[in-house]
Amino acid sequence: MAGVKPHFIVFANEKGGTGKSTTAVHSAVALAAAGRRVAAIDLDTRQRTLGRYLDNRAASIERLGTPLPMPTYETFDPAKGETLHDQIERLAAGAEVMVVDTPGRDDPHAREAMLRADTLVTPINDSFVDLDLIGEVDAETYRIRRPSFYAELVWSSRTQKAKTTGASVDWVVLRNRLQYVEAKNMRRVGTALDELSRRVGFRVIPGLGERVIYRELFPKGLTLLDLGHLGKVGLSHIAARQELREMIAGFGLPDEARDAPPLKAAAAG
């Protein structure tokens, strides 16, 4: 509806290789499949993974002659002369959810997008290398010594938004690729995350596993909700689709229950 502000989900992480863009694309498509009006913007002008993924999806829709759940999307390019603020405002008009995929580096446009976040999603791999992004860990005890620069940046963004709009930000740390981590290390990372979450104020939810299927889906722009177009489907596809459903539920978006039945129907593929 016109004049209604969409719910902004901003995927942000200053480290690459965490599955951020894959998660953002699947989230945007899953929410569109649930009957929501979704807009998406890719702020990584150089790599534009989300933009290229959805370009491939649009090409598959045309080739197959079959409608698939699809968000409205664009890639931000400052060389085109439109400010990020204006492009977001234009894309967000009429949308219920706005998905923003930011670059895997410190970037002024990513910082600008973070100030709009209602839900801020930071995907990390289940390792101390990735955990170091949000908190420094003691080498002997594996306890958190202090929050990192990125955690302080998020805190500053949340504080600034609260002062200017009075709204809070739900910071969600997404633990991706859990099953490929050695059990003891996984427990240590989990303990450190729990400790840091209490100090800094984020929620931890499970994300998507490391599966070959995600690399296979990219050229056609398909997702785990499009099983009917994937050919031979195995148990790993079904398990991955369930991970996606649980991740979307974990975001706890407003009126999520309203959209649960359409998501199930669309995902049945």
Q: Domain with 18 in it: what CATH number?
A: 3.40.50.300
Cα angle vertex 79, ends 77, 82, to 5°?
A: 70
Q: Which pLDDT belongs to residue 130?
A: 83
**Assigned domain for 138 exists:** yes
Residues 6+ apart with CB under 8 A from 170: 118, 119, 120, 203, 252
Cβ–Cβ < 8 Å for 204, 173: yes
Give the structural domain span for 126: 7-267
**Assigned domain for 148 exists:** yes
Rounded Cα gap, residues 11 and 24, in angstroms? 7
**Assigned domain for 72 exists:** yes
Q: Which pLDDT belongs to residue 10?
A: 98
pLDDT in tens, 72-107: 999 999 999 999 999 999 999 989 999 999 998 889
- Pick from 24, 10, 16: which is nearest to 92 by CA? 10
**Assigned domain for 185 exists:** yes
Q: Which pLDDT belongs to residue 179?
A: 53
Looking at residue 36, what DSSP letter applies?
A: -
Q: Which helix (H) or strand (E) holds 27?
A: helix 20-33
Task: Kindly report the pTM of this predicted structure.
Answer: 0.88
Q: Which pLDDT belongs to residue 177?
A: 65
**Assigned domain for 64 exists:** yes
Q: Which pLDDT belongs to residue 230?
A: 81
- Name the domain count of the chain: 1
Q: Which pLDDT belongs to residue 187?
A: 81
Rounded Cα gap, residues 178 and 159, in angstroms? 31
Residues of the chain with pLDDT under 50: 1, 180-181, 256-269
Q: Which pLDDT belongs to residue 89?
A: 95
Which tokens is 82 given? 């439109």
**Assigned domain for 1 exists:** no
Q: Which pLDDT belongs to residue 3?
A: 58
**Assigned domain for 233 exists:** yes
Strand partners of residue 215: none
